Amino acid sequence: MSMLRNIFAVIAGIATFVVAIMLVQQLGHQVYPPPTDINVDFGDPAQVRAYMATQPVGALLFVGFAWMVGAFGGTLVATKTGTLKPLYFGVIIGGLVLAGAITNLFIIPHPVWFNIAGPAAILLATYAAIALLDRSKQ
């Protein structure tokens, strides 16, 4: 029974981080609407890199913030739902968010600062959720 509960907890954590990332990115698109006349060949990394360089810093910050909220929320939900220690769920959920973010960074060229800040934000948010829940379980 405990194993099923932990599997469900991971699924709930994944669902939470996916929804959280989508919601924060939707908010970002409301604040920084994407241009309607994008004239970029997304198959050409040089054109994509040039396009990304024109994006407002705030638009990129929304993406990083979405990853943070997803990692934090997903880890919280998984830990509160499951029976394992927060570290285990943090590694699973934070690791999945990080893997998705790194994949995104390889597919879509981003500014160097974002390639560092994005993954760092995920790691910090995951650590914060683990630390918060470790204290609450003592």
Q: How far apart are CA 119 and CA 133, in angstroms?
A: 21
* Sequence ranges of the domains in the chain: 2-136
Nearest-angstrom CA–CA distance, 92 and 75: 8
> Which DSSP category does 33 fall into?
P
| Cβ–Cβ < 8 Å for 17, 67 | no
What is the helix (H) or strand (E) element at residue 86, kind and residue range?
A: helix 86-107
For the chain, residues with pLDDT lower than 50 are 138
Contact present, 71 and 97 (Cβ < 8 Å): yes
Each residue's pLDDT tens digit, 67-82: 999 999 999 999 999 9
Q: Which pLDDT value is given to residue 136?
A: 65
Determine how many CB atoms are found less than 10 A away from the CB of residue 22: 12
- Provide the pLDDT for residue 40: 80
Residue 137 has a pLDDT of 57
